[in-house]
Amino acid sequence: VRFPEDLEDENTTFNPEYSHQVFGDDEVAFGYKGLKILLYYIAGNLSTLFRIEYTSKVNEKFDCVEADDVESKIREIIPPGFCTNTDDFVSLLEKEVNFKPFGMLLHTYSVHNEEAGEDITYQIYKADMTCPGFREYHERLQTFLMWFIETASFIDVDDERWNYFLVFEKYNKDGATLFATVGYMTVYNYYVYPDKTRPRVSQMLILPPFQGEGHGAQLLETVHRYYMTSPTVLDITAEDPSENYVKLRDFVLVKLCQDLLCFSPGKLMQGFSQEMVMEAQQKLKINKQHTRRVYEILRLRATNMGDAEQSRSYRLDIKRRLIGPYKKKQRELAKMRRCLRPEELTNQLNQIDLNMQHEQLEESFQQLVSDYRRVLERLAQA
């Protein structure tokens, strides 16, 4: 909510992707007709208005069943101090002009908005719990995780090894510049013996109204650039990354790596090298596993897939990596069958397994190439 009229504007509403963490696996609130759970947040400091509306509710006295206590379920995840009536909320909205982003400004960028017909400015900040008011703001901000990240959990904010990176939009209201929350990322700094740290991305969320505009890539690249300057950082990883996060990371890391000398077309065609691993880690804090993916994507760009020899060479290079788990499984199966089956049957079963594995391998390869092409298409448009 930026203006009082937003309260009545259905176009500014967005719904949760998940509610199982609040309402159980069935995602059901029992005992109501016409139930509406309404959560409004002021765009910048995220002060909250919480209301519940329904047309009727089961009654223990007459219906012999009790309705779910929806209010207490929501209260468990939103911090105390929220508004319950619109007038209080609107009076807080009037003070929003005093809200300023927390922490240190790292990056400013703009995105062209077709609807508004102008460029909109965004800024990324790094904050921590020593910033006045940030602890309370973060409590409100993290409530979004429960609705938009499938396995979300609240973090221990008293642990000083957490870093917080925040994205804000700058907008004008009555001649003043205000800020709206766009999204954020939390990063935990793990200790690596003897004197290094390994930042691990824990949670990352761009709020639904801003998704699909490139903010995730801007945020991840800014975080990488922030850690790249630190001599004590070994490399940057992610905790249990989603499929979407992996795609985003592929794009950002390829964008960062493409100008390194070790990824020149000539060197790419010679195969994956230790030089790539060293340079990506030392200059960009990228680990070996992620560097390998970057190499495969950039080699695809350098490869003429219409040329039979180049295409075959690329396919074999990728499949040699993909076949590792299959070979291990094959060895384990062979050991088991030596104990359990006659030799003739073993050979036959191994052959069946091999045929199936070749199919799976080809399928994995095709899926990978399809994913890599999407990264390269996005890179070409960047």
Catalytic residue list: 239
- Between CA 219 and CA 167 the distance in angstroms is 7
- In sign, the C-alpha dihedral spanning 253, 259, 264, 267 is negative
Neighbours of 213 (CB within 10 A): 17
- Between CA 42 and CA 82 the distance in angstroms is 11
Neighbours of 76 (CB within 10 A): 9
One-letter amino acid for residue 79 of the chain: P
Is 273 strand, coil or helix? Answer: coil
- Between CA 124 and CA 108 the distance in angstroms is 6
Interstrand relation of 56-57 and 48-53 (parallel, antiparallel or unpaired): unpaired
Structure tokens at 43: 């765009």
Q: Cα torsion for 168, 169, 173, 176, to the nearest 10°?
A: 70
Helices and strands counted in the chain (H then E): 14, 10
The values of phi and psi at residue 168, to 5°, are -130, 145
- Between CA 169 and CA 210 the distance in angstroms is 10
Alpha helices in the chain (DSSP H): 20-23, 60-63, 70-75, 86-94, 134-141, 145-148, 215-228, 243-257, 265-268, 274-284, 288-302, 308-322, 324-340, 343-381
The alpha carbon of 145 is separated from its chain's Cα centroid by a whole number of angstroms, namely 11
91: left (phi over 0), alpha (psi -120 to 50) or beta: alpha
Structure tokens at 369: 């190439």
Nearest in space to 251 (alpha carbons), one of 190, 196, 298: 298
